[in-house]
Amino acid sequence: MEAKIDAVLSKMEIAAEKVELYCNSKVKLPMAELDYLKTLEDARDFMTMMVTKTSDNRQQLADIFGGDCSRIARIRTVLDGVVLSDMNCNDQRVRTCTEACATIEKVLEDMGLGWCLKKACDEQKANLGRRRSSVDREALLAASQAAQAAAQAAEALETEEVPTAPVAEEPPAKASKAADLWAQSFDEDFVKRVLACTEATELHSLEKEALASKSSKTGNWMIWMVHRAHLDDPTLVKFDFTNLKMPEGSVEPLISPKLAVAMESNTHIEQLLMGCTNLQDPEAAILAVSLRSNSSLKVLNIDTNAIQPLTLESIAKGTSVNQALQELRCNNTANGRLVTEAFLHALKSNPMMCKLGYPVTDPYFRGEIDKQLTRNNDAARKRRLEEKRRREAEGDTTSPTSQAGYPAVKASPKAANWPPKLSEAEDKEVKEKAEREKTEKEKAEKEQAEKERAEKEKEEKEKAEREKAETEKAEREKAEREKAEQEKAEQEKAEQEKAEKEKAEKERAEKERAEKEMEERAAKEMEEKERAEKEQAEKEKVEQERAAREQEEKEKAEKEQEKIGKVAAETDKTQIESSDIAKAAPQSIESFLREPLDALPGMVDASGAESGFRGYLYKKSPSARFMKSWDWRFFVVQGQRLVWWRRDHDVPKSAADLAQSDPSGCKGFINFAVSRARVVPDDKNPAVFALEAVDGAWKDGSLKDMSDAQRTFEFDCTDSAHTREEWMAALRALQT
């Protein structure tokens, strides 16, 4: 890390020395400043990296920039001591490097090294004049003096008179192969005569010779063309070196370096075409400076040349200052984000630039550059229209030689003797040719005027017909529109009347329906009232009948109770006597077997049953799926059967109905005449007893529902008018 920053500091100090040394050189200063800016970029990147990398631990930053603080003091001294030209003074690398240096200084002050930093800065500023860089300053001064001497010699050679006879001199030895090849492409004598010319008109006498040697001695023609640009020849409007390889500036300073410097003061060249001409980076940097002062150049082509991004950025900045350049082409040179930003800024700063030949790959900048070019082209079109109207107002129908917004090229007083005078015959021929051309021109203008007048009349006639057709069409459309509006209004009126009529009918129908509903509701209320009164009367009648029936049943039950009591007493007496007999004489097996089966204890015998015993009992439901396991039923002992109904008022009134095999309304019955039954009391519940078939199953016809043939009927006397003993006694009374 320390070796890296030391190398960057050495390069920075050397570049700063070069900027100071070449401050008065238009050729070398741009390149020196670009080298200096490159070292600032390296120093900025290193300082930014150190600040970011040591954000958690500043010890490494203190090891590099701390101690005696000499490194950061050297950077600060160089930044404060170098003054750049107007072209590069606002470069962002100067600002960002200064900000990075200030950040390092702030960190060192926070670490308690502020006093050391101040002392180091004072020492560096005091030793600025005495400190020697790694660049040989004396060699640089010697080179500068040599360059000045060469310039003075060139000026003396230009002012020297052309000798009457060419002096044969040995050409100087060339140091390189390129120099040897270039020496073969020009003639020393011709070059001296070209450089001896101090006026542009003097160069016109050498035009034929320069053009004749263009194919064999390209250098002669190049030097002649560059000297014309140097002398600001008013007839040189288009400077075209396309696809002609120029020598490097170090090999021949009379072409590319001289041309780059000459463009600063040239006021007549409108097109500078330098595509594929071996234009090098130093000469391009000089050209960038010259563009800031040039006010006549409209087209610049530097395609396919060895130009670096920094130099191309400088050219873009130069075009932003130049307000005359309309077209710039720099394809196949260099590119980069900073270059693209510089060209976008140039398009915004120079509204005259309408064409840009530069490859842009970034979609955002491509869109922004296209939009700005569209705006500039619209502005140029408006300027052309304004210029055309101005010429028409002034009565000038001739086309200007320059575009709108730029004055036509005027010849300087120096060109008064050009072209040379002609002989009388040539002058006469020229005049006749001019008159003939004038006559043809007037004839052509007359024909053109007649043609334009005919076209204008035709256009006016077509315009009148078109206006008439449009007027008729508009009137027809207006009539149709009014008719449509009238029909629409009538239709809306009819629809409104229809809607009002439907609304009235609907209201009347609703009113009638409401009246009808009211009448029906009144009739319904009356019917409901009558039905309620009738139901109330029937209910009272039923209550009275039930009360009478209950009273009758109660009296009947009391009589039956007395009768059952007598029967039970007689039965008990008979059983006692039988038991006494049994005790007196034990029963033998043969007598027991001869005893009938229906004489078993608890067996029901329907032969001697008395009818009329009745009352409510709980009967257990045959299935657990019913919600209630016990049903409240009304039972009647009738003849040889036990019959039950849901309620007492369901029992038939007549004895004939009761005597039927299946009395009406009964829920079930047990016919003891068909199947023998046994009465079994429940040992756990004193109110429950059961009836079961002696044979194990009820025979056909003994039950109403024969699906209960295997069933044992269980009864509960709770809430009954009779006790369990009374019910069991009534059933046992059916036994013999």
Mean pLDDT (the chain) is: 80
* Three-state DSSP state, 588: coil
Pairing of strands 668-671, 613-620: unpaired
Residue 638 pLDDT level (bands cut at 50, 70, 90): confident
Residue 572 pLDDT level (bands cut at 50, 70, 90): low
**Where do we find the tokens 């007359």?**
446
405 backbone φψ class: left, alpha, beta (φ>0; ψ -120 to 50): left
- CA–CA separation, 11 and 14 (whole Å): 5
The pLDDT assigned to 610 comes to 43
Contact 676, 604 (CB under 8 A): yes
Beta bridge partners of 638: 641
Residue 593 pLDDT level (bands cut at 50, 70, 90): very low
The pLDDT assigned to 735 comes to 52
pLDDT at 303 over 60: yes
- CA–CA separation, 366 and 335 (whole Å): 13
Burial class (CB in 10 A: 0-12, 13-18, 19+), 288: buried
| Residue-level length of the chain | 736
pLDDT at 426 over 80: no
- CA–CA separation, 190 and 172 (whole Å): 16
Pair of tokens at residue 429: 């021929």
- CA–CA separation, 341 and 321 (whole Å): 15
Residue 356 pLDDT level (bands cut at 50, 70, 90): very high
- CA–CA separation, 611 and 591 (whole Å): 33
Question: SS3 helix, strand, coil % of the chain, rounded to 5?
Answer: 60, 10, 35
pLDDT at 337 over 60: yes
Q: How far is CA 592 from the centre of its chain?
A: 111
Half-sphere exposure (CA, 13 Å, Cβ side) for 686? Answer: 3
- What element of type H or E holds 180? helix 177-183
**Where do we find the tokens 């930093």?**
117
Pair of tokens at residue 344: 């976008």
- CA–CA separation, 193 and 157 (whole Å): 10
- CA–CA separation, 144 and 17 (whole Å): 13
Pair of tokens at residue 31: 């390149």
Residue 135 pLDDT level (bands cut at 50, 70, 90): very low
The mean-pLDDT minimum among 430-444, 514-528, 592-606, 658-672 falls in 592-606
Helices (H), 66-168: 70-81, 92-110, 114-126, 137-159
Query: What's the CA angle centered on 514, arms 508 and 519, to 5 degrees?
Result: 130
Residue 301 pLDDT level (bands cut at 50, 70, 90): very high
- What element of type H or E holds 329? strand 327-329
How is residue 703 annotated by DSSP? B
The pLDDT assigned to 400 comes to 47
The pLDDT assigned to 381 comes to 92
Domain boundaries defined on the chain:
2-139, 237-390, 597-732
- CA–CA separation, 439 and 198 (whole Å): 41
Radius of gyration of the chain measured on its C-alpha atoms: 68
Nearest Cα to 54, choosing from 103, 113, 3, 93? 103
The residue type at 509: A
- CA–CA separation, 635 and 726 (whole Å): 13
Mean pLDDT of 662-678: 88
Task: Give the contacts of 134 (CB within 8 A, at least 6 positions apart).
Answer: 10, 13, 14
Query: What's the CA angle centered on 333, arms 327 and 336, to 5 degrees?
Result: 95
Write a three-state SS string for 366-379: HHHHHHHHHHHHHH
Q: What is the pTM of this model?
A: 0.39
pLDDT tens for 461-492 read 888 888 888 889 888 888 998 999 899 889 98
The pLDDT assigned to 617 comes to 92
CATH code for the domain defined by 597-732: 2.30.29.30
The residue type at 535: E
pLDDT at 453 over 50: yes
The pLDDT assigned to 129 comes to 57
Phi, psi at residue 340, to the nearest 5°? Answer: -65, -40
How is residue 667 annotated by DSSP? S
**Where do we find the tokens 């519940």?**
685
Mean pLDDT of 309-324: 87
Half-sphere exposure (CA, 13 Å, Cβ side) for 203? Answer: 30
Task: Give the contacts of 640 (CB within 8 A, at least 6 positions apart).
Answer: 606, 607, 609, 671, 672, 673, 734
The pLDDT assigned to 357 comes to 92
Q: Regarding the domain delimited by 237-390, which CATH topology (the fold level of the hierarchy) does it fall under?
A: 3.80.10
Contact 234, 410 (CB under 8 A): yes
Q: In what order do the strands lie in the sheet with 630-638?
A: 603-604, 677-681, 688-693, 713-716, 613-620, 630-638, 641-645, 668-671
- CA–CA separation, 289 and 262 (whole Å): 11
The pLDDT assigned to 171 comes to 43
Contact 120, 73 (CB under 8 A): yes
Pair of tokens at residue 502: 């439907």
Burial class (CB in 10 A: 0-12, 13-18, 19+), 375: middle
Task: Give the contacts of 444 (CB within 8 A, at least 6 positions apart).
Answer: none
Nearest Cα to 51, choosing from 65, 31, 37? 65
pLDDT at 132 over 70: no
Percent of the chain whose predicted confidence (pLDDT) is above 70: 81
Mean pLDDT of 165-170: 40
Q: In what order do the strands lie in the sheet with 238-240?
A: 238-240, 271-273, 299-301, 327-329, 355-357
pLDDT tens for 189-247 read 888 999 999 988 888 888 888 888 888 888 889 999 999 999 999 999 999 999 998 99
- CA–CA separation, 241 and 274 (whole Å): 5
